[in-house]
Amino acid sequence: MPRNRTRSQESTSAEAAPRPPSIEHDRRALGDLTRVSEMVAGELALDVVLRSAMDAAADALNAEACSILLLTSPDQLTFHMVDGPQSSGLNRTQLPIDDGSIAGWVANHQEPLLVTDAYQDRRFNPAYDRRTGFRTRSILCVPLRARGEQVGVIEVLNRRDGLPFDTQDLEFGQAVASLIAVAIHNAKQHEALMKAERLATIGQTIAGMAHCVKNILNGLQGGSYMIDQAVDPEDGTQMADGWRIVRRNIRFLSNIVLDMLSYSKERKPVRRPCQLADLYQDVVELLQDQAAERGVTLTAASQVGEVRLDEAAMKRCLVNLVGNAIDACGKGGGLVELHDRPAETTGYVAVRVTDNGCGMAEEDRQRIFDPFFSTKGAKGTGLGLAVARKIVQEHGGVISAGSSPGRGTVFTLTLPTTPPDRTED
């Protein structure tokens, strides 16, 4: 993308005679600049800034029409605000950054352009006139730059007094453009900040609800347990079937909610001595029903014994991994194993979840830890593995996956047995 620094380019047709400078003119220009500044400075909503900027620019430069085009990708501009007769069809139209139009040329070369007779200029693209029914006579187009970055271009068309734009208009236009560019830049920054704040607030709200939600989940768990004690597993009545449906969906809902709670906040692990064998047993117990429904054999064994970790968080992590492994086995049965051994690096343990299920293609394997990526269609929230990875990383560990289609999958969690900030247990 050429960004040559050339002299300010002017039209190939006859040059317009510059107006004689006058104090009156300068005073008016200063007044106009002040008005432009007042109209755009202090506005923070992007659309409001763009609207004000266009009105201010058209006014200050005495133009019939004005457009602002914003940079929407490294090689593309988009009409963001268009004002003037018959212009509404152009809004949101995209335009490549190349020499095929005046605005494209200006963005490409980062130089302002004064075109006194549009139809005589090779760079002028009459297609937009054809779309709007407008007849362009002269054009003043200036790049919008703020803080060393390209923002887009501003273009004004047809001076109202019928004369073409001149070099004084060009100079004035550049002053106006620099004010507008800063205002747009600020508005965009503000937008980005608001978005980040909104996401943070959602995280806070979820965390705030968490205590209440966990008590509800506790109640569901408790009630489920009591009903399970009373229902014969062999019972084939509608009530027993209905109960199994409810129980399964309570499990789905609990998983989604617990994943969301895990994902929504940064969490420093609360490490306590934990027997891995007990942890695995808890995980197996939670997933027994799911495994039985699919005819999957679920086994767990620990060589390593006691480690220091955040048991509740690690349970969430393993439940997600083992649950996925069971789902990967499909309805025909299969084998899922949860086991560990000391890792090759001293002071670390390698926990592995293996299955002999459907496996995954390399392009999926590379994306599986991305939040909201799921291969399960409607049943997957896409958060399970993102949460698992978050938990492992918060423990100072690493998680990896090995797989091939039809041959099963292995997840390996390499976790420090001694927390990084303690030298002795």
How far apart CA 152 and CA 150 sit, in angstroms, is: 6
Residues 296-335 that bind other proteins (CB under 8 A): 310-312
x-marked contacts with other proteins along 157-196 as a string, rule CB under 8 A: ----------------------------------------
Size of the site for other proteins (CB under 8 A): 31
From the list 210, 231, 240, 260, which residue makes contact with other proteins (rule: CB under 8 A)?
A: 210
Rule CB under 8 A: is residue 287 a binding residue for other proteins?
Answer: no
Rule CB under 8 A: is residue 137 a binding residue for other proteins?
Answer: no
Q: Which is nearer to other proteins, 190 or 247 (CB)?
A: 247
Q: Which is nearer to other proteins, 269 or 371 (CB)?
A: 269
* Piece of 89-97, 217-225, 356-364, 393-401 that binds other proteins (CB under 8 A): 217-225
Q: Which is nearer to other proteins, 66 or 258 (CB)?
A: 258
Rule CB under 8 A: is residue 229 a binding residue for other proteins?
Answer: yes
* Piece of 55-63, 152-160, 238-246, 282-290 that binds other proteins (CB under 8 A): 282-290
Residues 233-262 that bind other proteins (CB under 8 A): 254, 261
Shortest Å distance, C-beta 321 to other proteins? 17
Rule CB under 8 A: is residue 98 a binding residue for other proteins?
Answer: no
Shortest Å distance, C-beta 265 to other proteins? 7
How far apart CA 391 and CA 398 sit, in angstroms, is: 10
From the list 53, 286, 291, 350, which residue makes contact with other proteins (rule: CB under 8 A)?
A: 286
What is the distance of C-alpha 366 from the center of its chain? 18
From the list 133, 222, 405, 406, which residue makes contact with other proteins (rule: CB under 8 A)?
A: 222
Binding residues for other proteins, per CB under 8 A? 207-208, 210-211, 214-215, 217-223, 225-226, 229, 254, 261, 265, 268, 270-272, 278, 281-282, 285-286, 310-312
